[in-house]
Amino acid sequence: MLNVGKAQHNGDWNWREVSSPFTRIYYVTKGEAWLHLPKEKVKLRPHFLYIIPAYTLHSYECHGIFEHYYLHVYEGFKNETNVFDMYDFPTEERAGEGDEQLFMQMTHAHPEAQLPESNPKAYDNVSRFTDYVKRYNALELWEKMRLRGATLLLFSRFMEHATPRVQTKDERMVKVLDYIHNHIDEDIDVGILSDIACVSKPYFIRLFKEILGMSPLQYVIRKKVSRAQLLLMTEEVSVKEIAYRLGFNDHSYFIRQFRKVTGVTPLEYRTRMR
């Protein structure tokens, strides 16, 4: 858990092109606003929960009274990336009995975890992110367990109605995705992935693209870029070092791929997040 708290707005919650290395969960208590996602526009309503996965580019629109609880989670539950890869989650779910109480309890128990202000630029940067991670790591074990339990319960509201993707029915693809996630810091060869799936390389590439909507190489690159974004935010190491850590033998190639995925170079991304 990075942040938790309650926010009150009156037409001043309008932020564009937000993308963060953590997952957001909202619970709306009053008023309404709009959430702009890459493929949909969602009206935020009272007594509903909303989830925005990490690295999802989105914007907010608010023209009046709007109050909500927020929860920012970084690796708040095991294999978070795997879960989002394996299922399509609804953005909106009706809140369950006691969900508002969970937010209230977390907010009351951790006032230090409230955001300094609503503008993402004020908290979604290297120094703040690092401070939040350190603060969480310094908590007592029982505090972490309580936060983890509350987070899992809220997340279960979305999991209940999540739709398994095709690959979750295919044990071969499950093994392939697990291998990618566990070896993201290595040079991952498509031939190895097809061997894991026990099919020919050409057939594997066609199957992977049919299920994931992109080639195996594109998927691996996107996962490496996501990890690179996190490293750029949390560690003071060179772009070349990050490239080598993620299995790129040519850091120039890494820079080109990073820019292709994010629209900016690694250094531009680091500067933007400071």
Q: How confident is the model at residue 76 (pLDDT cuts 50, 70, 90)?
A: very low
The phi and psi torsions of 95 (rounded to 5 degrees) equal -65, 145
Q: Are 157 and 172 contained in the same domain?
A: no
Question: Half-sphere exposure of 30 toward its Cβ, with a 13 Å CA cutoff?
Answer: 10
What pLDDT sits at residue 166?
Answer: 58
CA 254 to chain centre: 21
Q: Which residues pair with 93 in a beta bridge?
A: 49
What pLDDT sits at residue 21?
Answer: 82
- pLDDT per residue over 14-51, tens digit each? 999 898 888 999 999 999 999 999 989 999 999 999 99
Q: Are 177 and 157 contained in the same domain?
A: no
Q: Are 154 and 176 contained in the same domain?
A: no
What CATH number does residue 147 fall under?
2.60.120.10
What CATH number does residue 260 fall under?
1.10.10.60
Are 73 and 1 a contacting pair, CB within 8 Å? Answer: yes
Q: Are 171 and 146 contained in the same domain?
A: no
What pLDDT sits at residue 274?
Answer: 66
Cβ neighbours of residue 33 closer than 8 Å, sequence gap 6 or more: 9, 13, 43, 44, 60, 61, 62, 63, 66
Q: Are 212 and 226 contained in the same domain?
A: yes
pTM here is: 0.78
What pLDDT sits at residue 80?
Answer: 46
CB neighbours of residue 204 within 10 Å: 22
Q: Are 86 and 107 contained in the same domain?
A: yes
Domain boundary among the residues 138, 164, 190 is at 164
Q: Are 160 and 172 contained in the same domain?
A: no
- pLDDT per residue over 235-269, tens digit each? 788 999 999 999 999 999 999 999 999 889 999 98
What pLDDT sits at residue 146?
Answer: 96
Largest pairwise CA distance in the chain: 58
- 113 DSSP assignment: G
- pLDDT per residue over 169-184, tens digit each? 678 888 898 899 889 9
Q: Are 119 and 229 contained in the same domain?
A: no
pLDDT surpassing 80 at residue 77: no
From 130-134, 196-200, 205-209, 270-274, the region with the lowest mean pLDDT? 270-274
Q: Are 41 and 105 contained in the same domain?
A: yes
Q: Are 157 and 72 contained in the same domain?
A: yes
Q: How confident is the model at residue 162 (pLDDT cuts 50, 70, 90)?
A: very high
* Percentage of the chain exceeding pLDDT 70: 95
What pLDDT sits at residue 171?
Answer: 81
- Residue-number span of the structural domain to which 234 is assigned: 166-273
pLDDT surpassing 50 at residue 272: yes
- pLDDT per residue over 198-219, tens digit each? 999 999 999 999 888 899 999 9
Q: Are 78 and 51 contained in the same domain?
A: yes
How many domains is the chain built from?
2
What pLDDT sits at residue 41?
Answer: 97
Are 75 and 158 a contacting pair, CB within 8 Å? Answer: no
Domain boundary among the residues 164, 179, 201 is at 164
CA-wise closest residue to 43 among 70, 63, 21, 69: 63
Domain boundary among the residues 164, 187, 217 is at 164
> For all residues of the chain together, what is the average pLDDT?
90
Q: Are 31 and 138 contained in the same domain?
A: yes
